[in-house]
Every structure is written in structure tokens, then in C-alpha cells.
């Protein structure tokens, strides 16, 4: 497959994970989630969809750029971690919103965040631009992890 076809596949994979997460989120975001106590620094609901859309696009391009360097040592392993991170991304939504379990989601996000941190280092080593494109995703999930923890704490 050519390079542009592969970019399309990376985008498709990322947005498929987003769709699964969105499906799980839709089961509770307008009901159960509204009733939860949240910290004062919780962003408005309208912020999440545009931020995640940009992040999914950026992380797809980052992974694709690593794929372009797939013959470099460590690139294929980094790409396997990338696809695992997509599964963890979707799983978080299933746990938090689908199963309505902020505690389980908090435990899962620790593992998820670790995958993203490892990927940050590996992507940056393989391609500086990939590292730059990945950094906002890691930063957002760091923020979201704190938010998850606060929601769990306030509603335990």
C-alpha cells in the first residue's frame, strides 16, 4: 500500500477507536454523567469533541510518520504499542461511561497513560515531528486522568 493509503488506515484505526469510545460515552454522558459531582476545573462538555478530534488526527499522523520509518530499529514495536493504546483509549470510555465506573477507569488510565508516555519517548526518538504531534495527546490524557481521579474522589 502506498504512503497515503497507509495514512488513511491510521486515521481509520484512530477514528474507529473514537467511534467505539463515543458509543460507550453516549450511553451515559447525557444522564448519569450530568448527575456526578465534578471539580470546578471540569471543562464544558462542548470542549471534548473538538479536542479529541484534533488529537485523533495528530496521533494518526504521528504513528504514520513512524510507519514511514518502519525499517528503523524500534519502529515496529512502537507501532504495536500505538495500536494497543487505541484499544486502551476505547476501553477507558467503556469503563467510565459504559460501565459507569470511574474507579475502574482510573485504574485503567494509569496503564493507558504509561503506554502513551512510552510512545512519546519512542516516537520522538524515531521522528521528532511525531514526538511533537504526540505530546498534546499525552498532555490531554494527563489532564483527563486528573479529572477522572477527581470525579472518582468526589463521587466515591
Q: Which three cell numbers stand for residue 4?
A: 497515503
- The pLDDT tens digits along the chain (156 residues) read 799 999 999 999 999 999 999 999 999 999 999 999 999 999 999 999 999 999 999 999 999 999 999 999 999 999 999 999 999 999 999 999 999 999 999 999 999 999 999 999 999 999 999 999 999 999 999 999 999 999 999 999
C-beta separation of 149 from 141 below 8 A: no
| DSSP, res 29 | T
C-beta separation of 139 from 146 below 8 A: no
All structural domains of the chain: 3-33+48-154 (1.20.1260.100)
pTM (predicted TM-score) = 0.94
74: left (phi over 0), alpha (psi -120 to 50) or beta: left
C-beta separation of 90 from 152 below 8 A: no
Amino acid at each position: 500500500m502506498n504512503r497515503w493509503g497507509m495514512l488513511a488506515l491510521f486515521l481509520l484505526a484512530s477514528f474507529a477507536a473514537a467511534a467505539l469510545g463515543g458509543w460507550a460515552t453516549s450511553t451515559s454522558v447525557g444522564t448519569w454523567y450530568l448527575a456526578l459531582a465534578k471539580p470546578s476545573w471540569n471543562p464544558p462538555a462542548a470542549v471534548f469533541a473538538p479536542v479529541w478530534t484534533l488529537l485523533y488526527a495528530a496521533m494518526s499522523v504521528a504513528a504514520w510518520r513512524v510507519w514511514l520509518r518502519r525499517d528503523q530499529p524500534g519502529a515496529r514495536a512502537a507501532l504495536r504499542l500505538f495500536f494497543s493504546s487505541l484499544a486502551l483509549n476505547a476501553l477507558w470510555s467503556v469503563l467510565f461511561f459504559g460501565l459507569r465506573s470511574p474507579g475502574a477507569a482510573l485504574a485503567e488510565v494509569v496503564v493507558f497513560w504509561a503506554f502513551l508516555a512510552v510512545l512519546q519517548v519512542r516516537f520522538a526518538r524515531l521522528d521528532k515531528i511525531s514526538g511533537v504531534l504526540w505530546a498534546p495527546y499525552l498532555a490531554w490524557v494527563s489532564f483527563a486522568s486528573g479529572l477522572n481521579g477527581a470525579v472518582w474522589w468526589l463521587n466515591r
